[in-house]
Structure 1
Amino acid sequence: MSQPLRILIVDDSALMRRMIRAMLDRDPDLTVVGEAADGREAIARAAELRPDLITLDVRMPVMDGVETTRQIMAYQPTPILVLTASLSRYDIDITFQMLGAGALDVMEKPQLSDGAALERARIALVRKIKLLARVKVVTHLRGRRKQNVELSMVNGELPNKQATATSPSLGGTSTTDHSPFTIQHSPFPVVVIGASTGGPGVVRQILAGLPRGYGAAVVVVQHIAQGFSAGMVEWMAGSSALPIMLADAGAAIRPGQVIVAPDRVDLLLDDKGRVKLSALPLLLQRPAIDITMQSVAEAYGPLATGVLLTGMGRDGALGMRSIRRAGGYTIAQDEASCTIFGMPKAAIDLGAAHVVLPPDKIIEALIARVDTPRRGIT
């Protein structure tokens, strides 16, 4: 690197700020340019210092992590890495709200433990910062709209309601002349959704858009830090008409239900629709999207649909190609709506994607592809 990456540390604990600074100062490619003890100070320091990345606490006085993320992403878009000390339900919920507001990723805070564990935590933190600091983040206007609404209410004004636009017809950038076909025969179809950095909010949006009684089983493989998958499931379930649960070994998948791969293991399906969880170190990333998609391609062939969303690297590209070669249907998220276009681009370059779509069109494609019974599945 020609210039060190400039980092802003935000945490209400002076001890934690000192610890994170000491960890980062050991790497010549990183320099800590400032600190902040609460959200409001973080916003001011971000505007003043224009750092390459912000490490952001969840619980803080004056302004919590959610509103801080919204304001930074609305007025000074900067890569944000969420650091949380707790995996409690309350803190996990705030954490995923921060990811939905534009933060890129989450890690558990380093613990004051033995030297070997602390060094492993330092290496993981430095690696994550170096990856995320180069991401070109986009402005999230929701923070500005929220602030404008609050100002209008203070002034005694009511915001104008926008007319709801009707959904346009299914479309997008197609990499082939083939169109999606509707699956109407048994066994039931399976949809695999793979995502990494920037993915939780998009996955949540897609699941929230699928109707109750959706006629396919849905499998989600989201790269997430260890310890956060259960909380992510609860967060996603809060906005979905479909039941969402962590995958259990031996459980049978069902149409109208969503299972999510636990962190640190790979999820496979057999031809009877039963879950197998594997901890074999077959790939660098675990859970691996490629492994899940390849197993679904083998077991379900033309009944499989693969969806590859935002993320860094190439995981999922080979799996998407397996689904396409098996006669299934494949969708890649478009570049404009991706936080990081790496994984979808890899699939597109490989010729693995039938179509390239934004999230709202992905929802339409998934609904159009699957014949959903009118009666919901309970």
Structure 2
Amino acid sequence: MSAPARVLVVDDSATMRGLITAILSADPDVSVVGQAGDAMQARAAIKQLNPDVITLDIEMPDMNGLEFLEKIMRLRPMPVIMVSTMTHRGAEATLAALEIGAFDCVGKPVPGDARPFGDLAEKVKAAARSQRGYARPDTSAPVSRPSVADFRVGRKIVAIGSSTGGVEALIAVLQKFPANCPPTVITQHMPSTFTKSFSERLNRLCAPVVEEATDGARLEIGKIYLAPGGDYHLTVASASAPQCRLVDRPPVNGHRPSVDVLFDSVAELAGRNAIGAILTGMGRDGAAGLLKMRHAGARTVGQNEKTCVVYGMPRVAYELGAVEQQLPLNAIGEELLKLTAARKESD
């Protein structure tokens, strides 16, 4: 990127606007071109300043962040990073924003935070580089799912990794899964207070049971397990039967949970009886683990550049030779099913 990413900071708190501005201004590749305290000010600033990216508070007076985001995506689609309180209510609203089309989210800092707003500057730069088309994914219309009776599920495990853009990507993939889908484990980079709400949201939108993974949970047909954010890595292991294990290790590739840690464990446990998919996301987490899965005999899929919010993780995996085939997002769910379940012989 030859010029700094131009950012408009929108928050009803002057203190919060100042803190966000200070953090972003410390990066020479980011330029804060304006601030706004409410939606009316933000609308005028967008017209005047034409920013590359907006940071947007969820809770604002008169028109809240979700309502304003809806208008942005309808009238002037552009990258928006949501700034949310780290509460259950804030998590629900942020997930709704990501479904509407927000680029990513960050949590507002709490006392003792060593890195307020985490990697906000990196997310802003990735958002400014993004060439995606911003449009709301359809999560209300009925989806076409394979009939449960049409598939015979074997002993295979599906493992999926995703990051920026992963909320809508995972919805698109998992809505293709039938109620008797193969056991599926997922690591999505997301703050700890968001993963519980996200698993509940996926459970409402998808035919299989979706739950936040717990230590010792047995891998079962018809269940999808989402790594909890924050303190542990999700892995799979076998005692009397394959199960989820939450392990306390340092962050890997800057992340905990890490996609690489999950994929490594799936390669060791399942080998050729596994399928791996790496979806949209910044950085390289998951690329080495997916390569390990492929070397162990697993089938592997990567999201293609055109449909990624950020073609980072899938790109690195493809360049390493970890990706057997690249597919558009709308084809990945069906392909995973083809790789894991056979049609009835009568078909």
* TM-score, with length taken from structure 1: 0.78
Q: 1:76 to 1:324 in 2, by over 3 A?
A: same
Q: Equivalents in 2 of 1:372, 1:43: separation in Å? A: 52
Per-residue deviation, residues 331-370 of structure 1 (Å, max 9, x unmatched): 1011111001111111111222221111221111122223
Residue 270 (structure 1) aligned to one of 237, 248, 267: 237
Q: Give the deviation of 1:184 after TM superposition.
A: 5.8
Contact 1:267/1:292 (CA < 8 Å) preserved in 2?
A: yes
- 1:306-325 matched pairs, under 5 angstroms: 306-325=276-295
The amino acid across from 1:120 in the alignment is R
- Residue identity over aligned pairs, in percent, reads 34
Q: Equivalents in 2 of 1:100, 1:107: separation in Å? A: 15
Corresponding residue number in structure 2 for 1:234: 200
Residue 219 (structure 1) aligned to one of 185, 193, 212: 185
Q: Equivalents in 2 of 1:40, 1:236: separation in Å? A: 33
Corresponding residue number in structure 2 for 1:360: 330
Runs of 4+ in 1 over 6 A off after TM superposition: 164-167
Q: Equivalents in 1 of 2:266, 2:151: separation in Å? A: 16
2:104 matched to 1:138? no
Corresponding residue number in structure 2 for 1:64: 64
2:33 matched to 1:39? no
Question: Which SS does the other structure have where 1:238 is aligned?
Answer: helix
Per-residue deviation, residues 218-244 of structure 1 (Å, max 9, x unmatched): 101101124221122122222011111
What are the ranges of 5 or more consecutive residues in structure 1 without an aligned counterpart?
146-163, 168-181
Q: Equivalents in 2 of 1:125, 1:327: separation in Å? A: 35
- 1-10 or 233-242, which moves further after superposition? 1-10
Contact 2:164/2:282 (CA < 8 Å) preserved in 1?
A: yes
2:169 matched to 1:202? yes
Corresponding residue number in structure 1 for 2:90: 91
Larger Rg: 1
Contact 1:183/1:370 (CA < 8 Å) preserved in 2?
A: no
Corresponding residue number in structure 2 for 1:281: 250
Q: 1:363 to 1:6 in 2, by over 3 A?
A: same
2:185 matched to 1:190? no
Q: 1:70 to 1:300 in 2, by over 3 A?
A: same
The amino acid across from 2:46 in the alignment is A
Q: Equivalents in 2 of 1:24, 1:141: separation in Å? A: 26
* TM-score, with length taken from structure 2: 0.85
What are the ranges of 5 or more consecutive residues in structure 2 without an aligned counterpart?
none
- 357-366 or 226-235, which moves further after superposition? 226-235
Q: 1:137 to 1:108 in 2, by over 3 A?
A: same
Question: Which SS does the other structure have where 1:98 is aligned?
Answer: helix
- 1:290-369 matched pairs, under 5 angstroms: 290-369=260-339
- 338-347 or 76-85, which moves further after superposition? 76-85
Q: How many residues align?
A: 333
Which structure dedicates a bigger proportion of its chain to strand? 2
Q: Equivalents in 2 of 1:42, 1:219: separation in Å? A: 40
- 1:21-40 matched pairs, under 5 angstroms: 21-25=21-25, 29-40=29-40
Q: 1:247 to 1:341 in 2, by over 3 A?
A: same
Residue 249 (structure 1) aligned to one of 212, 215, 218: 215
Question: Which SS does the other structure have where 1:322 is aligned?
Answer: helix
Contact 1:77/1:137 (CA < 8 Å) preserved in 2?
A: no
Q: 1:96 to 1:300 in 2, by over 3 A?
A: same
Corresponding residue number in structure 2 for 1:172: none
Per-residue deviation, residues 279-321 of structure 1 (Å, max 9, x unmatched): 2126232211111112111111121000100011111112222
Question: Which SS does the other structure have where 2:205 is aligned?
Answer: coil
Q: Equivalents in 1 of 2:125, 2:24: separation in Å? A: 14
Contact 1:104/1:197 (CA < 8 Å) preserved in 2?
A: yes
Contact 1:312/1:342 (CA < 8 Å) preserved in 2?
A: yes
Corresponding residue number in structure 1 for 2:7: 7
Q: 1:210 to 1:136 in 2, by over 3 A?
A: same
Q: What is the Cα-based RMSD across aligned positions, in Å?
A: 3.0
